[in-house]
Amino acid sequence: MNRFRWIPAVVVVAMLAGCVPSFKEDTEVLKNTDETESVVETTIIPSMQLNDNYYRTLVPYKESASRGLVVSNLYTKYDIKEVEEGLMRLSQNVYDTENYYFQEGQYLDTDTVSNWLARSNQNKDEPEELRGLNPPDVDANGAPLSPEVRAKEAPIYLAHVVEQNYLVKTDDNKVKLGGISIGLALNSIYYYQKEQYGDTFEEPIPDAEIEKKGKEIAEVVISRLRQRTELQDVPIVIGLFKQAPNNSIVPGAYFSYSVSEKGQNSVGDWQGINEKYVTFPMSAPDELYRDINTSFQNFKQDVDKYFSNYTSVIGKGFYQNNRLSKLSIEVPIQFYGTTEIIGFTQYISGVIMQQLPLDVDIEVSITSINGAEALIMKEANEKEPFVHIYDY
């Protein structure tokens, strides 16, 4: 294959960037580091931008003020990744990647987010702007609700809050806050126990209820953010993310977002988002997924022909507006020989072109107990894939 490469694993990330960027000198600018603008630091705007789907980030990189909470608050590693990547994707509707620079959220610290995620009766002595956004677990008289009643009438809706900052360069060679984005991760299932250390039960939360409560919480969040002087005159993007069940192997997705324009103390009109992750193969696919499911099953059958024993092949499809835009496939293998891996990878590369749709981005990860062994990537409508064998 013309695009077959041997590359050390440490540099493969650079090859996955897409188009090759132009190399110009980085730009040094000044950045305010406190609200009074009396303290500034020198920071760098990198000239290299991977492609139009990525924001440039300032150097030195600043971690989120609530870093670490996302891992403990969301059920799966898939949701942890998608709640942030999905928010960045919908932010591009407001903040273009050419003129805005990405920075992790600096305004919502760990204590603030933790307080917001509590039930409203759990921190009622806190100032109004720090009280819990989830419903109380007591009745009007202050008596605790039973686990069953709590599950049906007062589940935990808000699981996590993600903040992202988008900066712009000013005429006097500085950068300032140009806007922020907030992601509200909402539970689709409420998990509870009837007694301590007892069995765990599930109570699904209807989609209509998730959306209704999510929009109510969004109104409160916008109102609280606008109370901060530094956030009164910037647009705020706020998105609603439906978290997947805790046993899911695909993430949830954002289903609605709104923009509170600068100076506006409430959310704007809500815009629906039609995105969904699905797994392949499906036993009884809906009409929307039937053709792709058939193609995937044919791909899997060809993979199985290569092995004397069964190999589990799982696909994850990302649909936008009812159209498959990306297909990610994991192929675990049980042999370790270098020549075997090369031969199998080349075989799979051919099967991709024969069995899978041409107008879709495709990524195939071949793994063993030793970790990643090979990566195959094909961009939509490309005539041949990019193939990489990891050289450890």
Instruction: Tell whether omega for the bond before 281 is within 30 degrees of 0, i.e. cis.
Output: yes
Q: Where are the domains of the chain?
A: 26-273, 278-391
Specify the CATH architecture of the domain 278-391. 2-Layer Sandwich (3.30)
Which pLDDT belongs to residue 385?
93
> The tokens 């100032």 sit on which residue?
127
**Distance separating alpha carbons of residues 195 and 179, to the nearest angstrom:** 45
Q: Which residues of 271-294 are buried (b: 16+ CB within 10 A; e: fewer)?
A: eebebbbbebbbeebeeebeebbe
Which pLDDT belongs to residue 357?
93
Task: Provide the CATH number for the domain formed by 26-273 in this structure.
Answer: 3.10.570.10
Q: Which residue type occupies 93?
A: N
Which pLDDT belongs to residue 5?
44
Q: What interhelical angle do 287-305 and 338-355 show, nearest 10? A: 150
Per the DSSP assignment, residues forming a β-bridge with 254 are 241
pLDDT tens over the chain, length 392 residues: 434 444 333 333 333 333 444 444 566 555 554 444 555 667 887 766 666 778 988 888 888 878 777 766 787 888 889 999 999 999 999 999 999 999 999 999 999 999 999 999 998 888 999 999 999 999 988 899 999 999 999 999 999 999 999 999 988 888 999 999 999 999 999 999 998 888 999 999 999 999 999 999 999 999 999 999 999 999 999 999 999 999 999 999 999 999 999 989 999 999 999 999 999 999 889 999 999 999 999 999 998 888 766 568 999 999 999 999 999 999 998 866 888 889 999 999 999 999 999 999 999 999 988 889 999 999 999 988 999 998 86
DSSP string, 40-71: EEEEEE-S----TTS-EE-BS----TTTTHHH
Q: Which residues of 359-391 are buried (b: 16+ CB within 10 A; e: fewer)?
A: ebbbbbebeeeeeebbbbbbeeeeeebbbbbbe
Q: How many CA atoms lie within 13 A of 355 on its CB side?
A: 18
Which pLDDT belongs to residue 25?
56
**Distance separating alpha carbons of residues 181 and 78, to the nearest angstrom:** 20
Q: What are the structure tokens assigned to 389, written together?
A: 């064998």
Instruction: Tell whether omega for the bond before 385 is within 30 degrees of 0, i.e. cis.
Output: no
Spatial neighbors of 293 by CB under 8 A, at least 6 apart, are 280, 281, 282, 285
Which pLDDT belongs to residue 151?
95
The yes-or-no answer to whether 26-273 and 278-391 have a common fold is no
Q: Can you say whether the dihedral through the CA atoms of 208, 81, 164, 38 is positive or negative?
A: positive
